[in-house]
Structure 1
């Protein structure tokens, strides 16, 4: 019977092709708008490291001005001072820990025909690569000993390795940064976590860096730091005075594998702040925080309010499209009143008629869903063209979103068809036959 109902639905759709086209277009437009915004919000709020997000914690300490709280006192500063970050690193109280900051460098190629390359850099400590599951194409991360001995080592991105060494295994080769030679110890494979959770302050959806170097190079003034910097008191003259200042510009992550480890580390942070208070720092009430990856993304509002508003508006538009579809279905089904009356007179039950017209509504919904997928694809392409690199990899229609579009269209069309189908099933056959 199901195949029979499908055949009847197809015949009806073709017979009333103009009305069917209007309904398919209405559903397609609504689904296209909804899936476009849902896809962007879905990818913006996705878990960038699901296998380890519950064990990675971002550290926040409130070292700000006692008379002028950071973020109006709602949250502690979103970064740490160099003093606090290096003190926490030396304490080694976490299973793994990493301090990092944005940097930039100029690579001087050995090939005289190549121009110098200005690259984005990430200055970090050795545990960074293990904590964040960074995949390697060649070689390995540098070791803790390399940090301790202040070695000049570097990890290249796959793209940088292709530019400098033609994509060959460059482990053991050397590159020149700002007049100093650095030994390549590893090459990262494709790695673009979205959002770029490890440093929200310089752009949650920016690409990962071109090269990775040891954090100590910033303090040694061998590489130039960049990124966001905020200060609440004068820093003094010279770079060493800046390092000792209350300026925040570093990000600090720890890996804690259990609730007990987290509780113990929080106790350590509280004790550290109390110790610093005795030295005249941290005059505000203690507000230390450990936020796992998803908590950190939520607190930083990675999914902007306007994106969520656009998604809500797209669903409202979908509702308007469905209301129009209800009206069109009602007009179509009631237009079949003589046919329905005749079928009832010949013995067709209301249940049979209900199944037939619900299946017809579902068929219109599936076709509308396919049209919606096409419109969503072009909508996402338009968003990527409009926002450029900021939306790169966030305007992609994956299998989950494609499946959601079809399911949403099917559910919406069936929902829209319930009332028109109910009205059609309650047509009085005697009245229709008398009018013939």
Structure 2
């Protein structure tokens, strides 16, 4: 019976190509616009590391002055980042399963054959790789001993390895950076968590750094932060060491805690650490330490802004407008078939079969409109990619299989919603009046 209804539906659409085309375009436009905004919102708000997000915590310590809250409008909020002295002290304490301190910096890379160039790098500790489950194409991250010895080792991104070593296994190869020679310990495989949860402060949708080196190289190489740097008081900074010992906050700090007991223990440790620092004349404000899980951290920093949610809402409203337009077109199309339906009713077809036949027709319209809508969405995403080229949004403008299936279901539901009333209306028409006129 379904195949019979399908053949009738295709014949009906061929007889009225203009109306059928307009209905398909109406559905396609609604799907295209709504899926463009939904895709971006979905990728921006997704859990970037679902297998561990409940065990990873961003650490906040309120090291600001008593009369200088970090956020004057919301004084209960602690700074987003830590000072160098606090971050390195917490790393050295080793009170969590894994602990990572890090910041962004730059170095001049001197390839053997090509011209030197400025490269972005992440300066971090060895726990970064197991903690964030970084995949490796070759080799591995450096060790805790490398951290302690301030070894000149480097981990390269896959793209940087292709640029410098032609994509070959470069583990053990030497690379000159910042007038020093580094040894490649590993090459990361494709890894680009979205959002970049571990450093949303300096760009939640930026790509992973070109390379990574040990945090212990910060002082001997005088590596400066290329990211955000906040302070609350005037300090005399006459040397690089003065800056490291200052109250300027520019380090991101994360810990891995396996259960609620570990979380409570680490909170107690932070309180004890801050209390100890208070005795040294620091941390003037009341205890205000925080542990934020991955999803809490992204919400805290408004990685997904309110205007993105508004755009999704507006696009859904646009889809509803398209559905209403399709309703009007379907009413015109179906009521034009009243005489044909009257004849079928006179020959014994009941209302349910007539209703089912026309729902099959609107479903076919939805499937075609959905397919065209996916193409429109791809075009919209490519337009976003072009407009925001180089701003870290490239990985937010792609449809995965889940989103394609969602678009197909959404188109089908939209077509059923549009076709329900016209189909019902057509079934209520009495055949007698039409048959008398024949």
| TM, length-normalised to structure 1 | 0.97
Residues 363-374 of structure 1 correspond to what in structure 2 (within 5 A)?
Answer: 363-374=364-375
In structure 2, the partner of 1:44 is 44
Residues 14-93 of structure 1 correspond to what in structure 2 (within 5 A)?
Answer: 14-71=14-71, 72=73, 73-93=75-95
In structure 1, the partner of 2:252 is 251
State the distance in 2 between where 1:177 and 1:26 align.
Answer: 57
State the distance in 2 between where 1:96 and 1:178 align.
Answer: 29
In structure 2, the partner of 1:8 is 8
Does the residue aligned with 1:388 lie in a helix, a strand or coil?
Answer: coil
Alpha-carbon offset, residue 338 of structure 1: 1.5
- 1:16-60: CA deviations, max 9, x gaps? 111111100100000000011111111111122122111111111
- 1:309-337: CA deviations, max 9, x gaps? 21111111101000011111111111212
Does the residue aligned with 1:393 lie in a helix, a strand or coil?
Answer: helix
Does the residue aligned with 1:385 lie in a helix, a strand or coil?
Answer: helix
Instruction: Out of 246-255 and 194-203, give the one that drifted further.
Output: 194-203
Query: Which 4+ residue blocks in structure 1 deviate beyond 6 angstroms?
Result: none
State the distance in 1 between where 2:197 and 2:292 align.
Answer: 12
Alpha-carbon offset, residue 353 of structure 1: 0.8
State the distance in 1 between where 2:265 and 2:379 align.
Answer: 51
State the distance in 2 between where 1:39 and 1:313 align.
Answer: 14
| Contact 2:222/2:240 (8 A) holds in 1 | no
State the distance in 1 between where 2:437 and 2:285 align.
Answer: 86
State the distance in 1 between where 2:216 and 2:155 align.
Answer: 15
Instruction: Out of 76-85 and 337-346, give the one that drifted further.
Output: 337-346
State the distance in 2 between where 1:368 and 1:37 align.
Answer: 18
- 1:395-416: CA deviations, max 9, x gaps? 1111111111110000011011
State the distance in 2 between where 1:229 and 1:44 align.
Answer: 25
In structure 1, the partner of 2:155 is 155
Alpha-carbon offset, residue 424 of structure 1: 0.6
| Contact 2:231/2:249 (8 A) holds in 1 | yes
| Contact 1:178/1:222 (8 A) holds in 2 | no
Alpha-carbon offset, residue 222 of structure 1: 4.3
Does the residue aligned with 1:306 lie in a helix, a strand or coil?
Answer: helix
Does the residue aligned with 2:107 lie in a helix, a strand or coil?
Answer: strand
Residues 103-122 of structure 1 correspond to what in structure 2 (within 5 A)?
Answer: 103-109=105-111, 111=112, 113-122=113-122
Does the residue aligned with 1:115 lie in a helix, a strand or coil?
Answer: coil
In structure 1, the partner of 2:136 is 136
In structure 2, the partner of 1:356 is 357
In structure 1, the partner of 2:243 is 242
In structure 1, the partner of 2:297 is 296
In structure 2, the partner of 1:123 is 123
| Contact 2:148/2:216 (8 A) holds in 1 | no
Gaps of 5+ in 2: none
Gaps of 5+ in 1: none
In structure 2, the partner of 1:429 is 431
Does the residue aligned with 1:220 lie in a helix, a strand or coil?
Answer: helix
| Contact 1:235/1:247 (8 A) holds in 2 | no
Does the residue aligned with 2:184 lie in a helix, a strand or coil?
Answer: strand
In structure 1, the partner of 2:397 is 395
In structure 2, the partner of 1:100 is 102
Instruction: Out of 381-390 and 273-282, give the one that drifted further.
Output: 273-282
| Contact 1:10/1:360 (8 A) holds in 2 | yes
Alpha-carbon offset, residue 82 of structure 1: 0.9
In structure 2, the partner of 1:262 is 263
In structure 2, the partner of 1:383 is 384
State the distance in 2 between where 1:369 and 1:268 align.
Answer: 55
State the distance in 1 between where 2:76 and 2:317 align.
Answer: 33
| Contact 1:152/1:182 (8 A) holds in 2 | yes
Does the residue aligned with 1:224 lie in a helix, a strand or coil?
Answer: coil
In structure 2, the partner of 1:317 is 318
State the distance in 2 between where 1:162 and 1:324 align.
Answer: 52
Alpha-carbon offset, residue 426 of structure 1: 0.5
State the distance in 2 between where 1:339 and 1:202 align.
Answer: 65
State the distance in 2 between where 1:397 and 1:288 align.
Answer: 39
| Contact 2:76/2:288 (8 A) holds in 1 | no
Alpha-carbon offset, residue 74 of structure 1: 4.7
In structure 1, the partner of 2:342 is 341
> Is 1:177 matched up with 2:154?
no
Q: For this pair of structures, how many residues does the alignment match?
A: 434
